[in-house]
Structure 1
């Protein structure tokens, strides 16, 4: 009897399988065209062969390259073909190129639906995951999701030192964002509101960034002590250090959110810069968001955490309620958000 893929992953991740998604709920595919075109160029370089204009144009015509360029333009970042060519001229050995090819095979040999099913355990009914995963040879060593509502894309930095388990965790994390955005109300980002007095709406939108922590919980398959165990010892250790600063980080955010509501945080660009700083690699949007999500799930169950992260206006107030209950049994109580802040955000 063949063991279902979900069963294998669930056992490996200490999580139960989610209820099966609808047959048409997952439509995610790999697009390897950019990685393969870039590897062809790297092969020529290590062999001392000439890279032709046709080689470059084949690379620049791939969907992965064009969408990466679109994303960088959306972010307001400089991104030119000349700069990309300069990046590709970085010396690489034959062994390094072979390692990239091997990693690409390992990442894409696993069924992508398996990562999607893990994420589905933390999504509302009716959620869908549609999009494309692009393993990329690119200058920035980052991973991200882009254009989640129109044509979702997940970009993975192709790294020969990254095992398939870590790539799977990243895909589950980003697929959770796509699934959440498919069914939950749009996040109230700074670009979505045009009312004369949109300070509260913008802050509500930024609080939606705690979804990064929720996605960490979902990708881990549940409230396990080390949600980044699949990402290797270094990232797990860094996570432990950051989570240990939960009280400090939450207090800093609490104070800043209050200054935003009071109109004392500076202009919109200053507020945005501060909020963006909460991302980082494992910033408070991840660690504080994860801790809140785990606390809510431990006290009220998985469905409550799904519901509150779908309408994040209620997030701070719901966390306060859960933390107050949990504090009855803790020697060191969890901190609470300012009650007035939580109440205002729930409007």
Structure 2
């Protein structure tokens, strides 16, 4: 993941990705609002869920891609490929691991958006614990 995700694409596609990644901190809480509405039963059926989720797909890429990518990159840089693979077997763990890493990074001055403890609890995963070796996260990811 040291290579740009659009390294084979033209400059326009790379610029679009880079611009979309700049919305990470705004997009994560929007995705959380959707997840909360599903978990709290405010969205009653698949059609309502699909209608609310559709904008996150975007026309070519949307917040599902960029938020997921950023979380996966940080987890992989911290926990290695095996750690990322393990979290993908239970995607709730990806949210939890990302959140733990973001918590520690933010304590060191980063400004990464985080999942709320309420969402993590509803998903049945632990809130972040201070077990992150922050030295393994490269400065550009902080």
TM-score band by shorter chain is: 0.7 to 0.9
**Aligned match of 1:321 in 72, 97, 100?**
100
1:288-341 Cα distance to aligned partner (Å, 9 max, x none): 000000111222222111110122121211111111122233x34211101121
What's 2:66 paired with?
287
d(CA) in 1 for partners of 2:41, 2:18: 34
What's 2:15 paired with?
237
Q: Does 1:309 align with 2:95?
A: no
4+ runs deviating over 4 angstroms: none
SS of 2:8 mapped into structure 1: helix
d(CA) in 2 for partners of 1:272, 1:223: 33
Q: Which of structures 1 and 2 has the larger relative contact order (alpha carbons within 8 angstroms, sep 6+)?
A: 2
Larger Rg: 1
d(CA) in 1 for partners of 2:102, 2:92: 17
Deviation of 1:223 (Å): 3.8
More helix by share: 2
Matches within 5 A, 1:128-277: 222-224=1-3, 226-277=4-55
d(CA) in 1 for partners of 2:98, 2:104: 10
Residues 265 and 271 of structure 1 are in contact (CA less than 8 Å); yes or no, is this contact kept in structure 2?
Answer: yes
- TM-score by structure 2 length? 0.78
Where in structure 1 are there 5+ consecutive unaligned residues?
A: 1-221
Residues 39 and 122 of structure 2 are in contact (CA less than 8 Å); yes or no, is this contact kept in structure 1?
Answer: no
Residues 278 and 284 of structure 1 are in contact (CA less than 8 Å); yes or no, is this contact kept in structure 2?
Answer: yes
d(CA) in 2 for partners of 1:293, 1:334: 14
Q: Does 1:344 align with 2:125?
A: no
Deviation of 1:277 (Å): 3.0
What's 1:333 paired with?
111
- TM-score by structure 1 length? 0.34
SS of 1:301 mapped into structure 2: helix
1:72-130 Cα distance to aligned partner (Å, 9 max, x none): xxxxxxxxxxxxxxxxxxxxxxxxxxxxxxxxxxxxxxxxxxxxxxxxxxxxxxxxxxx
